[in-house]
Chains A and B, each alone.
Chain A
């Protein structure tokens, strides 16, 4: 996506986010807020997958870890600034986990499908640990009573306030990720994704770059998880498992890999569809999401935002 197209889309998105509280009720606003948090999560996966072409199939590990750490830290009695410490700890824990995994995988030469499978297994492991380590994680039920976001006297628990907090964080993160993506760092990542050996022969330490990028991606996933848990007031094992890990892949793929905004749109749309369809017949959704996986691969390899580009590509005088 060209820089201008991206910023026009981005500005339109900000406008829509700003107008939304005027047109929907408090309940819908809450639904949108949660969807946007998952959108931020999707953007974090896209930042890594979209730039490097390496697919992480266990990204919910970082979202869920952020959530659990947020719950545990912010529920500590006698802790001042619970929200602040909780967020910092959540982001740090997710980043640290990703740095360790990145070290083991990227410096060990693990790439491509191997990385996808190892991360898939990590999601399985994470969920098992979350369920079986019940002293800390609350087991199957998870942890209830996580306090809402508050910084000192600034209380962000209301409908509008929590929505606004999420929207602002999302906008800032998207902008930051975009700047990194198109800047020198992002170009080197694209180069590594194109031909890693060539990039290394030009003097780039590919393993180190991949690890750092993965760590940043995981830190943002952890932030999203922490926000979600604070808004929902609880954390449970389904926030860390394989299912969520694969759902986020669908959001990114549907929205358009490598665009950052597309995955947010994908996350919002797919979750809306999921809620509608599940309220009608809960056992249909897994079947539909399965079909979506297959269909995107064959029909929409570049995501929904690419439809507009493809239509434009048909018109004369414009190349991509």
Chain B
């Protein structure tokens, strides 16, 4: 019972992080049809923002607020300088964003130096859940992630901006004809995805090894979240992160973490074979 609850909560932590990282990808890959291999670096940037704030005497919470802002700034720069010119060139986008990923990694390493960076969790207490004790910080992490996802669903469903995004996705030419600035909508949506990934990086920073190369680990997993779940929908995102995050957490108890990750990615590939549009596919969309 004790182990089951802990496993469940650990799984929820991972699922939350994957869903937040995957959100930006489901926007860029699923909706804008552009493959951004520098997406993992938004996570890295978020984690390093917290490290930077803390190492200059600021609090973790200040870092947590700053991380999405920095993530969005990097995302908007990437979209404005590079991706904007490559929407019609899918392979070009893959190559260029991989280059940007390498540049960011090495730039961060040159700025902050080699080796893992320590990030102190804001709270190190545990809370008694009746059957088991669990770190408070992880529960907060899960709560923030869930609130963010709920916010995104509301944003897309209820606001003017959400309507613009849905219109642009369904028919870009039509959206332009009714006066929506599609370029700006793309940029804002992309920046938003980067901000949420930055937030994910900040949230995970006290639990993870903060390294300039940490983003690559999230990149492959987050892509599989999006592909397995079905690109372009929030429900697909949740289904995908539950699959990848849940399976990883369960396997981590049985076998070595790297073998567990290998198995999860392999099973994701098998799923893609039989459900090429993901577990939750949007009707009629290829």
Contact = CB atoms under 8 A, between A and B. Distances in A.
Interface of A: 53, 55, 57, 104-105, 107-110, 112-114, 116-118, 120-122, 124-125, 128-129, 131-132, 242, 246, 249, 253, 283, 286-287, 289-298, 301
Given A113-B33, A298-B85, 8 more contacts: A53-B91, A108-B272, A114-B227, A121-B265, A125-B262, A132-B256, A294-B100, A295-B99
Given A109-B276, A128-B259, A129-B262, A283 B109 contact: yes
B270 interface: yes
Interface stretch (B2-10, B165-173, B192-200, B216-224): B216-224
B224 A290 contact: no
Contacts of B85: 298
B258 A131 contact: yes
Interface string B77-98: 0000010011001111011101
B90 A113 contact: yes
Interface residues of chain B: helix, strand, loop or mixed (majority): helix
Given A286-B106, A291-B99, A291-B103, A128 B261 contact: yes
Nearest to B85: A298
Contacts of A120: 37, 220, 223
Nearest to B255: A132
B273 A108 contact: yes
A132 B110 CA distance: 30
A17 to B, nearest CB: 29
B266 interface: yes
A104 B37 CA distance: 23
Given A125-B266, A132-B258, A283-B106, A118 B96 contact: no
B272 A129 contact: no
Interface string B195-235: 00000000000000000000010001001100100000000
A121 B110 contact: no
Given A128-B259, A253-B95, A294-B82, A116 B35 contact: yes
Contact of A124 (B29, B94, B220, B227): B220
Given A125-B262, A129-B259, A301-B92, A114 B99 contact: no
Which of the four size classes fits the interface of chain B?
Answer: 35 or more
A254 to B, nearest CB: 11
16 contacts: A104-B270, A104-B272, A105-B273, A113-B90, A117-B220, A131-B258, A242-B216, A283-B109, A286-B106, A287-B106, A289-B99, A289-B102, A294-B96, A294-B100, A296-B95, A297-B96
B94 A55 contact: yes
A116 B94 contact: yes
A116 B227 CA distance: 12
A313 B102 CA distance: 34
B269 to A, nearest CB: 6
Contacts of A57: 94
Contact of B102 (A105, A108, A124, A290): A290
Nearest to A257: B91
B220 A293 contact: no
B44 interface: no
Contact of A287 (B82, B95, B102, B216): B102
B231 to A, nearest CB: 9
A292 B99 contact: yes
A192 B23 CA distance: 33
A117 B98 CA distance: 12
B253 interface: no
B269 A128 contact: no
A223 to B, nearest CB: 25
B58 interface: no
A-B pairs, 6 with minimum CB distance: A293-B99, A290-B102, A290-B103, A108-B273, A128-B258, A294-B99
A297 B95 contact: yes
A249 B37 CA distance: 14
Given A125-B261, A125-B265, A283-B106, A117 B223 contact: yes
